[in-house]
C-alpha cells in the first residue's frame, strides 16, 4: 500500500477521533475536534498531491479517497447537528446529495464511464469545510477564554447561518446540476 492510500486510511481514523472528541465531554474537546478536522483536511490535500505527483493513483485511492471524504463531511455535519449548530434539514440535504452523486458515479462506473468532479462541486466542498471549521472554532473559543465573548451569539446565529446557507445552496445547486448534466447515465439501460 502506497503513502497516498495510507493517508486516506489515516483520514478515516482521524474522523473517528474527531467524532469521539465532539461526542465526549472533556476539557478542550472542541479544540481537539477542530485540530483533528484540520489535520484530516490537510491529509486529504496531501494524499492527492502525492498520488498525482508520484504516479501513485490506484483503484483503491480512486474509490476510497472520495468515499472517506464524504464520511468525514457527513460525520462533521451530524455532530454539528447534534450540538445545535446546524439544523437537521441542512444536514439531510448535504448527506443526501453526497449519497446521490456517489451512487451516480458508481452507476456510471458500472457502465464503463468515469464522471469527473466539477468546479462547482469543489466550491461546495470548500464551503462545507469552511462551515465545519467555523463552528468548531466558535466552539473552541470559550474553552480558551473561560467564558463566552459578548459577540458570540452574533457570530453563531447570524454569521454562522449565512455561512451554512451558502454551503447548503451550493450543495443543492451543484447536486442538481451534476445530476442533470449526467442524466444520460440514469436513462441508459
User: Regarding the domain delimited by 3-187, which CATH topology (the fold level of the hierarchy) does it fall under?
Assistant: 1.20.120
Positive or negative, the CA dihedral 76, 79, 83, 87 is: positive
Question: What is the Cα–Cα distance from 115 to 112, expressed in whole angstroms?
Answer: 10
**Three-state DSSP class for residue 188:** coil
Domain boundaries, the chain: 3-187
Q: What is the pTM of this model?
A: 0.90
Q: State how far the alpha carbon of 10 is from the alpha carbons of 5, 6, 42, 138, in Å.
A: 8, 6, 11, 26
H or E element at residue 110 = helix 88-110
**pLDDT tens, N- to C-terminus, the chain (189 residues):** 899 999 999 999 999 999 999 999 999 999 999 999 999 999 988 988 898 899 888 888 877 888 899 999 999 999 999 999 999 999 999 999 999 998 898 888 888 887 877 889 889 989 999 999 999 999 999 998 888 889 999 999 999 999 999 999 999 999 999 999 999 988 765
Amino acid at each position: 500500500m502506497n503513502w497516498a492510500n495510507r493517508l486516506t486510511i489515516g483520514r478515516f481514523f482521524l474522523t473517528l477521533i474527531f467524532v469521539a472528541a465532539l461526542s465526549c465531554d472533556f476539557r478542550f474537546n472542541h479544540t481537539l475536534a477542530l485540530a483533528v478536522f484540520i489535520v484530516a483536511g490537510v491529509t486529504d490535500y496531501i494524499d492527492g498531491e502525492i498520488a498525482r505527483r508520484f504516479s501513485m493513483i490506484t483503484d483503491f485511492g480512486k474509490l476510497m479517497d472520495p468515499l472517506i471524504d464524504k464520511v468525514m463531511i457527513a460525520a462533521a455535519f451530524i455532530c454539528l447537528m447534534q450540538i445545535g449548530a446546524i439544523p437537521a434539514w441542512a444536514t439531510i440535504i448535504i448527506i443526501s446529495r453526497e449519497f446521490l452523486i456517489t451512487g451516480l458515479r458508481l452507476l456510471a462506473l458500472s457502465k464503463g464511464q468515469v464522471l469527473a468532479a466539477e468546479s462547482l462541486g469543489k466550491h461546495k466542498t470548500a464551503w462545507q469545510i469552511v462551515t465545519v471549521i467555523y463552528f468548531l472554532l466558535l466552539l473552541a473559543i470559550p474553552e480558551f477564554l473561560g467564558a463566552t465573548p459578548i459577540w458570540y451569539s452574533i457570530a453563531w446565529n447570524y454569521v454562522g447561518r449565512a455561512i451554512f446557507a451558502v454551503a447548503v445552496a451550493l450543495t443543492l445547486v451543484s447536486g442538481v446540476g451534476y445530476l442533470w448534466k449526467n442524466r444520460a447515465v440514469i436513462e441508459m439501460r
